[in-house]
Structure 1
Amino acid sequence: MEYLIVIEPDFEAGGYVVSCPTLKGCVSQGKTEEEALENIEDAIKTYLQSIEDLKRLKKLRASL
């Protein structure tokens, strides 16, 4: 699945800040654009995995 991302230069700290508006709170950064893009890819994967983990936990609790 593809997600829209926004990448912006961080003028104060240097580097780039990148976010995925579709996934609230999913933000990362990097020293270069390439690093920021790699980091947001990891952040998106972690975000989606966390949602799946929460769903499984809720199902487990419901079955107890």
Structure 2
Amino acid sequence: MKSAKLRFSIDVLPEQDGKGYYVVVPALPGCFSQGKTVEQAMKNAKEAIALHVKALKKNGQPIPNQDRTFHTVVEIAA
């Protein structure tokens, strides 16, 4: 039986020292990762998300549903 796919939005931010990227998963508080490249950071984030979801399931906690969540950018006057 094929398992359902879960989708999560992630925020990829450059590290302050300029030597990598930091990833935050807004729907999963405490779930974050990093990597030297964007690609590595995203790969590491997938692993972190999988482990976080596994822990939620093990503890009987609900898995957030992000099917209707989206992020966008707005501009304001400086």
Higher relative contact order (CA 8 A, sep 6+): 2
Name structure 2 gaps, 5 residues minimum: 1-5, 61-78
Equivalent residue, structure 1, for 2:22: 17
Cα distance in 2 for residues equivalent to 1:8 and 1:51: 25
| TM-score normalised over the length of structure 1 | 0.80
The runs of at least 4 consecutive aligned structure 1 residues that moved more than 2 Å come to: none
The count of residues paired between Structure 1 and Structure 2 equals 55
Tell me the distance in 2 between the aligned counterparts of 1:42 and 1:13: 23
Is residue 2:43 matched to residue 1:38? yes
Measured after TM superposition, the shift of residue 13 of structure 1 is: 6.0
Q: Deviations over 1:8-27 (max 9, x none)?
A: 10022610001100100110
Identity between Structure 1 and Structure 2 (%): 35
